[in-house]
Structure formats: C-alpha cells, structure tokens
Amino acid sequence: MSGRSIPWNKDKWGPLFFTIWTGQTLSWIGSAVAQFALVWWITEKTGSATILAVATLLSMLPGVVLGPLVGALIDRWNRRVVMLVADGVIALVSLWLAYLFWVDSLAIWHVYIIMVIRAIGGTFHWPANQASISLMVPKEHLPRIAGLNQSIGGAVNIISPPVGALLLQIIPLHWIMMIDVITALFSILPLLFIIIPQPEVGRQEEAIGSTVSAILFDIKEGFHYIWNWRGLFWMLVIAMLVNFFTNPSMSLVPILVTDHFNGGAVELGWLNASWGIGMVAGGLLLSAWGGFRKRTHTILFAILGLGLGIFMVGLAPSGALLLAIGGFLLGSAMNAIANASAFALLQSVVAPEIQGRIFTVIMSMSGAISPLSLAVGGPVADWLGVRTLYLIAGLALMLVTVAGSLSPVILNLEEEQAQKTLV
C-alpha cells in the first residue's frame, strides 16, 4: 500500500485536504440520517422519554469521561490510523445494527451498547481530525475551514430529519443503517491512500515511552498546559459558561413553544429550522470573512451576538414568534462563528504535538458542564418561567463578553503562544 500512497504536498494542500474532507462530510451526513432513524425507532418502540434520555446520556459520557485519556493517546499515536480505526469501528457497529434490524431482533440493550461504542469511536475520531487540520491547512485559512465545518454542521441538522423521515417511509430500517456503512467507506478510502502530516514526537515523550505512567504523565501535562497558560485557561472558563447558559435554552425550546407561544409541532419546526439555517449562514460568513485579525476578538464578538439572540427570544411576546425566530437566526449564526473561531484559535496557538490532549481536555470540561446546566435550568424555568430563563441566559452571555473584553490575558492570548511549551 505504501507504493500507492500519496504523500502530503503543502503547495497542493487544497485538493488533498478536500478529498479527505468530502469523505468525512458524506460519512457525517450518513451517520446523522441513521441517528435520526434510530431515535425515531426508540420513540415508536418504547414511547419513553427516560429511555431516550438514557440513550442520549450514554452517547455523551464517553467524551466527558475518556476525553483526557484519548487526547494523550492521540498525541502519541498516528492520527491517520486513529481516524481509520475509529471510522472502521463505527462502520462495523452500524453493520451490526443493520443486521439486528434485518432479523428483527434489536432490543433496547443493543441500542445502549451501540450508542456507547459509536460515542467512543467519535471520542477518538473528532480530536484526531481537529488536531490534524492544523497540519494540513495553512494557518491563515484555518478560520475559513472551521467556518465551513460549522456550515456543514448546520446543513446536516436541517436535512437529516426530513431525509431520515422520507427514507423511513420508502425503505426498511436495515437499509438506512447500511447507508451509514456505505458513507463511512467514503471517509475511510481517502485515508488509506493520502498520507496526512503528523507532528513530531517531542524528546520528552520519546524518552518516557508508552507505559501507563507515561500516559498519565501526558494527561497531567495537558491539564498543566492549560492551567499555566492563563489566557487559554480563561477561554476554557468562558466556553464552560457559554455551554452552561446556552444548553438549557436549546433543550427547553419545546416548552417555550407550548407554554409561551401556545404553539405545536409546526412552530417547533420553524424554530429548529431557524437554528440550523443560522448555523449555515454563520459558518459561510466566517468562511468568506475570516474574522477579525485577533481571533479572540471574533470569539467575544460572536458570544455577544449569541447572548443578544437568546435575549431577543426572551423578549418576544406570545404573539411574536417571528421575533423569536429572528433571535434564533442571530444566536445560531453567532454560535457557529464563536465555535469555528475557537477551533481555529486552538489549531493556530497550540503546538501540533499536543493538540489531541488539549482538544479533549477542553471537550471534556465544557461537556461536563451540560448535565449541571440542565439540572439548574429546568427548575429555574419552572420557578420563574421559561421566557425569564432566556432573558437571564442572554444577559449572562453578554456580561461574559464584557468581562472577557476587559481581560488582558484573554485579549493577548495569541501574542503569548510562542512562549508556551510543555514543561
């Protein structure tokens, strides 16, 4: 296979990168459609919100619990191989799922196991992919690529439910799962032939080797790296705060529709669609614009817009659904810009050889705040009203932006990057 492999060429990075990117995107779409069909099967089969919530929780936990360990391993292993194995495992699990549907023997416990395995595969694949992008794409184009990925994420959110619903009407469930397997092959094949660049293994890692103590050392160093870099640490705090105030707002949209706007499925569909459309628009805007010269300015500006959008939703009277739709469009567009700019920032300021563990530490910490935010947000909405929750969340995000704008360690984060190495 080595004789037919295509080495990476920095001068012709575009065709090579977008060949891999296209395969990954097709796999993403296939997985989203399959996920929609699987969730709908759970809903029809059980009608239980608890079972659905448990399945959702199981899909989140591997990233939160295993993230730091996975990041340390990714920084030691070949990231191309990690993505290949992760994609392959997810494809095999989807093939098993297709078989279980075909023989009509799928049980809920199967779904739980499949959710966990797929989540573990994603926990390895996502940081390996993100940490590789900084080695494949010139630094000046990182925000545009990140913006493009956010747009694709928004588009997938828009198209996967109707496509999944349509497919459920015309083909059996096992064939829908086979679509996920086939699209996974589009992700795997380019990685078999294109050799993506890898970071150099540092002298310290090389000397320590790959023992358990060495892996634990790497995990500790990942946390150490963020803690010692005050600007990066406070950006992580901001990410956690954004998740804390945003997640309940997104999770309680059905309650907002029924209790405040006195609406139903149609109104819920309009709000969900506006969030997806805003993500696409925000990602495309950043792809064309590239953001401010300082990426921290772009992130703070976008969080301010996200807060304003959520605040607009809270301001909307019961008869002003259009104002809430406008708030969702603004908020999701700014959310896409903030996320994409944050990814581009990390890819540009963090040394490539440690990006795996930094991405996963940040993913774990920001993800771990989600259960807490939902535990707090639900009772607050019941106590003060769901509309008040949106007002509080929007105002809090705008205050977070003000605090970040007054912090020199955040504003000067990029200027300090040359001084930051593992100790």
Q: What is the CATH number that goes with domain 2-208?
A: 1.20.1250.20
Query: What is the pLDDT at residue 300?
Result: 95
**317: DSSP letter:** -
d(CA 389, CA 218): 40
Entry pTM = 0.69
Query: What is the pLDDT at residue 212?
Result: 62
Instruction: Say whether 264 sits in a helix, a strand or coil.
Output: coil
Among 150, 162, 53, 70, CA closest to 108? 53
Q: Would you kindly state where each structural domain of the chain is located, as residue ranges?
A: 2-208, 212-419
Distances (CA, A) of 401 to 37, 245, 310, 370: 39, 13, 14, 20
Angle, CA 364 vertex, CA 245 and CA 404 arms, to 5°: 45
d(CA 65, CA 348): 26
Contact (CB, 8 A) for 63 and 218: no
Domain 212-419 in the same topology as domain 2-208: yes
Give 248's contacts (C-beta < 8 A, 6+ positions apart).
373, 374, 376, 377, 378, 380, 381, 389, 393
Q: Tens-digit pLDDT profile for the chain (423 aa)? A: 445 677 777 777 888 888 888 998 898 888 888 887 887 787 677 765 566 657 767 777 787 777 777 777 887 788 889 999 999 999 999 899 999 989 988 888 888 898 889 889 988 888 888 888 878 888 788 888 888 887 887 788 777 777 777 887 888 888 988 999 999 999 999 988 888 888 765 444 444 445 667 667 767 777 788 888 888 888 889 988 998 898 877 777 777 887 888 877 567 767 877 888 888 888 888 888 888 888 899 999 999 999 999 999 999 998 899 999 999 999 999 998 998 888 888 878 887 777 777 877 777 777 777 777 767 777 887 888 888 989 999 999 999 999 999 988 888 887 765 455 444
CATH class of 212-419: mainly alpha
